Amino acid sequence: MSTAIQRFSPRGTEVEIEEGLGLAPRFDADGLVTAVVTDVKDGAVLMVAHMNAEALALTIETGVAHYWSRSRKALWKKGETSGFLQRVSELRIDCDQDAVWIAVEQIGGAACHTGRRSCFYRRVPLGAAPSPALEMTLTEAGLTFDPATVYRNK
Amino acid sequence: MSTAIQRFSPRGTEVEIEEGLGLAPRFDADGLVTAVVTDVKDGAVLMVAHMNAEALALTIETGVAHYWSRSRKALWKKGETSGFLQRVSELRIDCDQDAVWIAVEQIGGAACHTGRRSCFYRRVPLGAAPSPALEMTLTEAGLTFDPATVYRNK
């Protein structure tokens, strides 16, 4: 972890952080940045996850997405169990450097643990009365894999 | 705020949360969900922000993006100062309901306070040695507005 943190530049002034070319991530109180993951094929948002310094460093170094699992409190090489790795096509960081955007090739076609391509398979209707009912989207609602099979005995 | 929270369904079982049609957001310890904002025109990720229950309820109700500003600790109707509102074209929620994805029409063309269309205007080269230098992207590096003018006297 200390090695990973040493990869990054120190946080500088606001101008340096926003306009500079030093990678100086702002990890939150839990040591994490937010990672938005899109499908390089069509730009659909596949998932939102988190990276600690080690996960970010490994993602940059290997070109394969690594995260920090907040539920398991462990480094998480996405696809290690299912085989459905994410090959990173492009990685970007935002203005204040507390979020990254990665465009990935999703091996196996599904990023969501429910078996769907994207975690964002339900739409919230706008202008709705209190407690609107969600709508399944046509494009993302179908299962790409069966979780019961893929995660069996794992 | 209490009214806003009453809009949402109670958190149920894992299956209800992931497969059901009840909107039951999981707000974190600070009362927030993550919001990923993309440009409805081409799918580019414009910014990442956060919504509390009130901001989420207002976004659903009005179709205009509202967030919670963590720095100002206040409800934030995006564009209230600059005039650059975000009209929500579609709002989706993810499997465990702790993140939303909104596709927006960005009035004024720029979502980032630095004057750029997207907050993600710098690329992190992959496979790089420690502390890689960021690269300005060709498409997002130019200013759409001049922050000094837009935010003048505000």
B123's tokens: 């690329």
- Looking at residue A18, which CATH number applies to its domain? 3.10.20.810
> Is B84 within a domain?
yes
Inside any domain, residue A19 = yes
A22 has a chain B CB within 8 A of its CB: yes
Is B29 part of any domain?
yes
Beta carbons of A38 and B34 less than 8 Å apart: no
Structural domain contains residue B118: yes
Residues of B in contact with A113 (CB under 8 A): 95
**Domain of residue A36, residue span:** 4-148
In the structure, what pLDDT confidence band is assigned to residue B143 with cuts at 50, 70 and 90?
A: confident
* Residue A130, C-beta contacts closer than 8 angstroms, at least 6 positions apart: B6, B7
Domain count, chain B: 1
- Domain annotation covers residue A154: no
Please determine, for the modelled complex, whether the ipTM score is greater than 0.85: yes
Q: Tokens in use for B11?
A: 């958190």
**pLDDT tens digits, A24-71:** 999 999 999 999 999 999 999 999 999 999 999 999 999 999 999 999
**pTM for the model:** 0.91
Q: Which of B17, B33, B36, B42 to mutate to test the interface with A (most CBs of A within 10 A)?
A: B36
Q: What was the pLDDT predicted at A154?
A: 47
A119 in a labelled binding site: yes
Query: Residue B130's pLDDT band (boundaries 50, 70, 90)?
Result: low
For B79-90, what is each residue's pLDDT tens digit? Answer: 998 789 999 999
- Do residues B134 and A93 lie in contact, with contact meaning Cβ atoms separated by under 8 Å? yes
Residues B23-64 have pLDDT tens digits of 999 999 999 999 999 999 999 999 999 999 999 999 999 999
Q: Do B20 and A134 touch (CB under 8 A)?
A: yes
